[in-house]
Structure 1
Amino acid sequence: MPTGHSHHSQNGQLDSRRFRQVLGRFATGVVAITAVDPMDGQPCGLAANSFTSVSLDPPLVAFCMAYSSTSWPRLRGAKALTVNVLAEHQQAVCAQMATKGGDKFAGLAWTVSPSGNPVLEGALAWLDCAVEAEHPAGDHLIVVARVLQLDTLGEGGPLVFFRGGYGSFNGGFVEPA
């Protein structure tokens, strides 16, 4: 019999801390999803590590959004979104994109994508996308988007998220404080 601990709470649900801890062993890249808020014309954005390619024909990608996200409703209103693939030196950019409220673009250099959205300086690549479908999934929304245009940008290694910390492809992970 395996002696592994079973981490169930009283009602038979998996313990959410344990769920995050175990899933944290799956390394992901990190993206900043940006747009221009059609309501006020201001750039808006958020950081996500749930981004993946879905289909080549048609070209589709997907990412997951928490229902609690205050930035998603602003992004959702834009006719196109831009996915910025973050580089290993952009941990501070990621932290800024992940903050709640405030000017997420303060002090950041960016250019404009063909869709008119921020492309963050130093990102490895960008993809202009249009939301095609949204699927409710627990406390998140799975967003499927069609890629309109895309290109590579900066060089270097990817920003990697692993075991709750950020690092580079060659190791050197920063455990969360």
Structure 2
Amino acid sequence: MKTALIAPDTAPDFDAARFRDVLGRFCSGITIVTASLDGHLTGLTCQSFTSLSLDPPLVAFAVGVTSRSYPTIREAGRFAVSILAEDQAELATAFAHSGGDKFAGVRWRHEVTGAPVLDGTAGHVECELVEEYPIGDHLLVVGRVVALAGHPDAAPLLFFRGSFGALSAGLEQA
């Protein structure tokens, strides 16, 4: 049974500031999505990243429709998602801004897809773009995982209520 949804911009008395405040209480990891197209490197910081399916292996991320970096990622058709480590807050901030050379001074390498994989991260996932869905002021992008690696000694960079943090205290390796 399909349920009718009320979009936030049409909901009665919708308060965008309250929406941000409440959703900001959800702690998430931070990623940087990167691609390479004809030698041009691009990337963007992304908080909205998730695993989507095990069979087939799919991940998804959300990006604003006004992103200046995403069109290159779309055209490349392949991308890498680097899961940032707790000491990479400056990197997250640098890739969150438009313009400039985001890769200046950043150590990275090409692996399976040709997309830049950032060094020193907690892990990475390389994908082929499968589909994108326009949803509100964002696009939901789905990628099929073709390669991945985790780095067990790295603790993740977290984002909570507009600030970066770490989970390193009390972490036990599996």
Q: TM-score, normalised by structure 1?
A: 0.86
Say whether residues 1:88 and 2:90 are aligned partners. no
Please report how far the alpha carbon of residue 170 of structure 1 lies from its aligned counterpart in structure 2 after TM superposition: 4.5
Maintained 8 Å contact 1:132/1:146: yes
1:70-101 alpha-carbon deviations (Å, 9 max, x no partner): 11011111131001000000001111111110
CA distance in 2, matches of 1:136, 1:111: 31
CA distance in 2, matches of 1:153, 1:112: 17
Please report how far the alpha carbon of residue 156 of structure 1 lies from its aligned counterpart in structure 2 after TM superposition: 2.0
Q: TM-score, normalised by structure 2?
A: 0.87
1:77 match: secondary structure: helix
Give the CA RMSD over aligned residues.
Answer: 2.0
CA distance in 1, matches of 2:28, 2:116: 22
Number of equivalenced pairs: 162
One-letter identity of the residue aligned with 1:52: T
Q: 1:126 aligns with which of 114, 124, 127?
A: 124
Please report how far the alpha carbon of residue 129 of structure 1 lies from its aligned counterpart in structure 2 after TM superposition: 0.5
Maintained 8 Å contact 2:121/2:154: no
Partner of 1:78 in structure 2?
76
Q: 1:50 aligns with which of 48, 53, 77?
A: 48
Partner of 2:23 in structure 1?
23
1:155–1:135 distance in 2 versus 1, CA, 3 Å: same
Say whether residues 1:143 and 2:146 are aligned partners. no
Q: Which moved more, 1:69-78 or 1:147-156?
A: 147-156
CA distance in 2, matches of 1:45, 1:19: 27
Partner of 2:100 in structure 1?
102
CA distance in 1, matches of 2:69, 2:53: 26
Say whether residues 1:63 and 2:61 are aligned partners. yes
1:154–1:118 distance in 2 versus 1, CA, 3 Å: farther
One-letter identity of the residue aligned with 2:29: G
Maintained 8 Å contact 1:82/1:129: yes
Percent identical: 44
CA distance in 1, matches of 2:72, 2:20: 27
CA distance in 1, matches of 2:71, 2:123: 24
1:122–1:82 distance in 2 versus 1, CA, 3 Å: same
One-letter identity of the residue aligned with 1:81: F
Q: Which runs of 5+ in 2 are unaligned?
A: 1-7, 170-174
1:93 match: secondary structure: helix
1:21-70 alpha-carbon deviations (Å, 9 max, x no partner): 100011110000011023xx121100000000011000000010100111
2:76 match: secondary structure: coil
Please report how far the alpha carbon of residue 17 of structure 1 lies from its aligned counterpart in structure 2 after TM superposition: 1.4
Please report how far the alpha carbon of residue 134 of structure 1 lies from its aligned counterpart in structure 2 after TM superposition: 1.0
Q: Which runs of 5+ in 1 are unaligned?
A: 1-7, 172-177
